[in-house]
């Protein structure tokens, strides 16, 4: 008997490290990993992998001799479009923000600090014809900066300030003139204070409509997408899932990804999950409508199906769809069961239970993986009921139905989730950012202390992973793992310690279990032979610092499919370096929810922007789409 044809022997690079944390329970630690053609060939030590070296050209790379390697981190719920639009703005906020290159913009917490930073940034931009757009203004901390005040410091250049919630803008006279926002155009709009240059809620749509052509230009949008990618690299992320792909325009979004990520060969993989409502309404010629508005999911699926199988380079299209249940956590508009809210206000639906059930039914029967945005326990009931109906009509196995965010749910719901085969990708940032405020104003200490109960999910033998929902939380997976593991609020209080995670559990949430949520745990998420050679390079060993100091672990760089990309200097989380975090001001007005039910929620922001774009009389996307 003759042997079959022998495959050409590849060249091999062996990376040695102080320690390799594999996230593989069969071989949890190693000191060397062999890589060939973008994939892992062997894991262990130099001695154990010697059999692979025979007949191959081998390079031993010891640049990580004093570093720790982990699987490349995975953020399975981000919104690159929002990052691309917002990060080029001059960010002056009540909290520090990390920027491209690792610089941290310091917080401005007083009117004097805000004025100094604003004047400093204005002086740094010498082109007075260019729109000066800043994000992060918070009147409660920064004082009054309306049209009269802005005219004093910038009488001859257009200035636009976005309030921290993104739902309000303040313009000077030059900006109003440049954008054509005259008294005749604005009229008597009830949500515009013309004298103050203040445009809010629906009035803000007028400003966004005028700005959108600027924000979508290549020199703005693609610059912002590049900044967002750099922030991911600083966080050790090698795979990110766009959890609302196609909301604006698939062609526009893909062209930008190709130009910014694929062509320069950035160390990042983008995994696209389709926006179920956005694709469906665009395909059927409808607007978003009310939560109970009918949606033609079949039309949306047909458009999605056309993109399946078109994976190329760093871009993947999953047979997966994103749907919605209830409103946002920061605005306290999640749907809550009894006893509800302290002040008696009601939450909001993004998709009514009937519409959500119809969407789940359609995509379930089509064999799609389903991801659902859900925050309150009443919202969770609507999702579980929809899943139970679909499962009862057509049983499926290993369907990986994913609950996203999961702000508050009960133990009984954890049990039911497990029985139906669901899992969760949660935002543990809610614990740090919101527990204190919701305890006092909305839910009381018991329920507010039990936000994002990850240990309950694990106790019921489900998988739990963590996401940033960028720009809700920073692109820092180790910080998110710390939020879930330590459960420390802004005031320094530890809440529901029974829901804390071990170090191993917390790290799984940003590696192998995050890959599981995307159905990609056979390719990424652990350092195992045959998988993609994606690594996070760490300056510190998480097992030396333990779960309570994960926020202090410094990222030194990444390895993407075998290619090394190091940072200029190692960086811990913003909170680890400054003791403060970007936290949107959790203000809400339950009496005015009719204007917007997604305040400070990235998913909602993105769908709002899409609605504004598609409602405009002019085609603002047309000039930015690739030629056929």
Reported as a pLDDT band with limits 50, 70 and 90, residue 335 is: very high
CB atoms within 10 A of CB 498: 10
Q: What is the pLDDT of residue 164?
A: 81
Q: What is the mean pLDDT of residues 37-60?
A: 96
Reported as a pLDDT band with limits 50, 70 and 90, residue 581 is: low
Reported as a pLDDT band with limits 50, 70 and 90, residue 331 is: confident
Sheet containing strand 269-275, edge to edge, reads 73-78, 237-245, 269-275, 315-324, 369-374, 402-405, 423-426, 464-466
Q: How confident is the prediction for the chain on average, in pLDDT?
A: 92
- What does the pLDDT look like over 275-311, one tens digit per residue? 999 999 999 998 778 899 999 999 999 999 999 999 9
Reported as a pLDDT band with limits 50, 70 and 90, residue 161 is: very high
Q: What is the pLDDT of residue 287?
A: 79
Q: What is the pLDDT of residue 619?
A: 65
Q: What is the pLDDT of residue 140?
A: 85
Q: What is the pLDDT of residue 122?
A: 97
Q: What is the mean pLDDT of residues 220-229?
A: 97
Instruction: Give first-to-last CA distance, the chain, whole Å.
Output: 54
Is residue 233 scored above 60 in pLDDT? yes
Locate 74 and state its tokens. Answer: 């995975």
- What does the pLDDT look like over 436-474, one tens digit per residue? 999 999 999 999 999 999 999 999 999 999 999 998 889
HEC per residue, 59-126? EEEEEEEEEEEEECEEEEEECHHHHHHHCCCEECCCCCEECHHHCEECCCCCHHHHHHHHHHHHHHCC
Contact 81, 245 (CB under 8 A): no
Is residue 72 scored above 70 in pLDDT? yes
Q: CB-side exposure of 352: number of CA atoms within 13 Å?
A: 10
Q: What is the mean pLDDT of residues 347-357?
A: 96
d(CA 501, CA 508): 10
Beta-carbon contacts of residue 503 (< 8 Å; ≥ 6 apart): 485, 542, 543, 546, 547, 550
Q: What is the pLDDT of residue 453?
A: 97
- What does the pLDDT look like over 168-202, one tens digit per residue? 899 999 999 999 999 999 999 999 999 999 998 78
Reported as a pLDDT band with limits 50, 70 and 90, residue 586 is: very low
- In percent, the amount of the chain with pLDDT more than 90 equals 81
- What does the pLDDT look like over 415-434, one tens digit per residue? 999 999 999 999 999 999 89
Sheet containing strand 12-21, edge to edge, reads 39-44, 29-36, 12-21, 58-71, 535-538, 555-560, 563-571
Supply the pTM of this predicted model.
0.92
Q: Which of 266, 308, 296 is nearest to 565 (CA)?
A: 266
Q: What is the pLDDT of residue 202?
A: 80
Beta-carbon contacts of residue 392 (< 8 Å; ≥ 6 apart): none
Q: What is the pLDDT of residue 207?
A: 94
Is residue 590 scored above 50 in pLDDT? no
Q: What is the mean pLDDT of residues 516-529?
A: 98
Q: What is the pLDDT of residue 76?
A: 98
Q: Which of 121-125, 413-417, 619-623 has the lowest mean pLDDT?
A: 619-623
Q: What is the pLDDT of residue 621?
A: 67
Q: Which of 100-114, 235-249, 515-529, 550-564 has the lowest mean pLDDT?
A: 100-114
Beta-carbon contacts of residue 31 (< 8 Å; ≥ 6 apart): 16, 17, 18, 19, 20, 44, 45, 46
Q: Decide the pairing of beta strands 132-137 and 159-163.
A: parallel
Beta-carbon contacts of residue 208 (< 8 Å; ≥ 6 apart): 609, 612
Q: What is the mean pLDDT of residues 74-103?
A: 92
Is residue 589 scored above 60 in pLDDT? no
Reported as a pLDDT band with limits 50, 70 and 90, residue 592 is: very low
Is residue 580 scored above 70 in pLDDT? no
Q: Which of 317, 335, 339 is nearest to 327 (CA)?
A: 335
Q: Which of 4-8, 36-40, 193-197 has the lowest mean pLDDT?
A: 4-8
Q: What is the pLDDT of residue 165?
A: 74
Torsion angles phi and psi, residue 84, rounded to 5: -65, -35
């Amino acid at each position: 008997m003759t042997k079959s044809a022998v495959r050409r022997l590849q060249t091999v690079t062996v990376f040695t490290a102080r320690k390799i944390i594999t996230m593989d329970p069969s071989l949890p630690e190693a000191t060397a990993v062999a890589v060939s053609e973008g994939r892992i060939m062997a894991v262990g030590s130099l001695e154990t992998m010697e059999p692979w070296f025979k007949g191959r050209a081998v390079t031993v790379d010891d640049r990580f001799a004093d570093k720790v390697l982990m699987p490349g981190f995975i953020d399975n719920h981000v919104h690159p479009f929002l990052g691309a639009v917002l990060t080029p703005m001059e960010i002056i906020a009540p909290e520090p923000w990390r920027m491209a290159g690792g610089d941290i913009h310091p917080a401005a917490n007083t009117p004097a600090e805000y004025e100094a930073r604003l004047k400093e940034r204005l002086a740094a931009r010498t082109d007075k014809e260019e729109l000066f757009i800043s994000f992060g203004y918070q009147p409660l901390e920064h004082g009054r900066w309306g049209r009269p005040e802005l005219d004093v410091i910038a009488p001859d250049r257009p200035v636009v300030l976005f309030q921290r919630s993104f739902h309000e803008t303040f313009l000077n006279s030059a900006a109003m003139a440049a954008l054509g926002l005259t008294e005749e155009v604005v009229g008597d709009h009830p949500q515009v204070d013309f004298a103050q240059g203040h445009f809010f809620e629906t009035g803000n749509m007028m400003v966004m409509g005028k700005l959108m052509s600027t924000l979508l230009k290549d020199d703005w949008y693609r610059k912002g997408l590049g900044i967002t990618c750099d922030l991911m690299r600083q966080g050790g992320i090698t795979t990110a899932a766009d959890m609302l792909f196609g909301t604006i325009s698939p062609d526009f979004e893909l062209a930008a990804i190709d130009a910014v990520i694929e062509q320069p060969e950035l160390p990042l993989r983008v995994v696209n999950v389709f926006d179920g409502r956005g694709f469906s309404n665009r395909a059927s010629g409808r607007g978003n409508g009310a939560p109970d508005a009918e949606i033609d999911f079949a039309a949306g699926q047909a458009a999605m199906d056309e993109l399946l199988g078109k994976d190329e380079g760093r871009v993947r299209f999953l047979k997966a769809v994103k749907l919605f249940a209830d409103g946002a956590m920061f605005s306290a508009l999640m749907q809550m069961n009894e006893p509800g809210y302290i002040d008696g206000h009601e939450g909001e639906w993004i998709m009514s239970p009937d519409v959500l059930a119809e969407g789940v039914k359609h995509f379930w029967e089509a064999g799609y993986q389903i991801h659902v945005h859900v925050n309150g326990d009443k919202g969770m009931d609507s999702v579980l009921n929809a899943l139970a109906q679909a499962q009862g009509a057509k049983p499926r196995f290993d369907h990986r139905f994913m609950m996203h965010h999961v702000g508050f749910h009960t133990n009984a719901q954890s049990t039911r989730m497990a029985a139906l085969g669901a899992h969760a990708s949660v935002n543990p940032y809610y614990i740090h950012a919101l527990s204190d405020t919701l305890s006092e104003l909305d839910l009381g200490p018991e329920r507010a202390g039990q936000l994002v109960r990850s240990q309950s999910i694990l106790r019921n033998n489900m998988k739990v992973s963590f996401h940033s929902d960028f720009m809700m939380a920073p692109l820092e997976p180790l910080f998110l793992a710390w939020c879930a593991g330590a459960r420390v609020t802004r005031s320094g209080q530890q809440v529901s310690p029974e829901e804390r995670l071990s170090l191993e559990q917390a790290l799984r949430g940003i590696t192998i279990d995050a890959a599981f949520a995307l159905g990609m745990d056979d390719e990424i998420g652990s350092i195992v032979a045959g998988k993609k050679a994606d690594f996070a390079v760490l300056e510190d060993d998480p097992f030396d610092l333990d779960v309570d100091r994960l926020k202090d672990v410094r990222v030194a760089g990444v390895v993407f499919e075998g290619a090394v990309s190091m940072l200029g200097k190692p960086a811990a989380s913003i909170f680890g370096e400054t003791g403060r975090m970007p936290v949107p001001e959790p203000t809400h007005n339950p009496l005015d929810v009719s204007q917007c039910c997604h305040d400070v929620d990235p998913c909602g922001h993105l769908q709002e922007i899409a609605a504004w774009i598609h409602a405009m009389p002019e085609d603002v996307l047309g000039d930015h789409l690739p030629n056929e």
